[in-house]
Amino acid sequence: MDIVRRRHSTKKFDANRVIDDQTLGKILEAFRFSPSMANIQPWGCVVVTDPEIRRQLQPYSYNQPQIVDASHLLVLCRRTDIDEDWLERVEDRWLKELQKHILEKEADHLDVWANSQVYVALGTMLATCAAIGVDTCAIGLFDHEKYDEILWLTEKGLASCVALAVGYEKDGIKHWPKTRFAEEDVIFRV
């Protein structure tokens, strides 16, 4: 529980510290192996390292400095092309009926369902980063259409959901104590 209590959204990254390839690989594996309902894995992750692309994204992210200062910017996306062909690629054959049900019964809400799955993956990545000593800031407030355009996501069958800035916090940053609502305000037992 110490990791959960200690983890916070990093506002100021050390732009000179870069995550090594092995550590980045662990973060991306956490994304890839995240839980997924019916193992559909309706997601993609764009690793943005190009400084010019990140500068282009920053104004559409309310000019948040994490976009350009973090070691890496990971843009988590939902798939927009989930269909029978996509499901054929999934290895778990016993889940086929459930997968088919999701496609048929949730067709009008598939984007909402896929977004929720991406956020499950985000949670896995946040926990993984905290466990391996990488600082993070999840960024959900940005112009999704502009991100999709700049990163050519539509052509890839993707739509942006949330960005995750990863790196190492600048030294000397002071933090307020973490506060949360009381248990009885958010946990309900039936």
In eight-state DSSP terms, residue 153 is T
Secondary structure of residue 111 in the 3-state scheme: helix
CATH of domain 2-186: 3.40.109.10
190 is written with which tokens?
A: 């039936």
For residue range 19-77, list pLDDT tens digits in order. 999 999 999 999 999 999 888 899 999 999 999 999 999 999 999 999 999 999 999 99
Residue 9: how many CA atoms within 13 Å on its side-chain side? 11
Predicted confidence (pLDDT) per residue in 74-127, tens digit: 999 999 988 778 777 776 666 777 777 777 766 678 889 899 999 999 999 999
Tokens standing for residue 116: 């929720």
Amino acid letter, 154? T
Q: How are strands ordered across the β-sheet holding 135-139?
A: 43-48, 72-79, 158-167, 135-139
CA 184 to chain centre: 29
Cα→Cα distances 52→3, 55, 58, 71, 129, Å: 34, 5, 10, 14, 25
Sequence ranges of the domains in the chain: 2-186
- Give dist(CA 131, CA 121) in Å, integer: 15
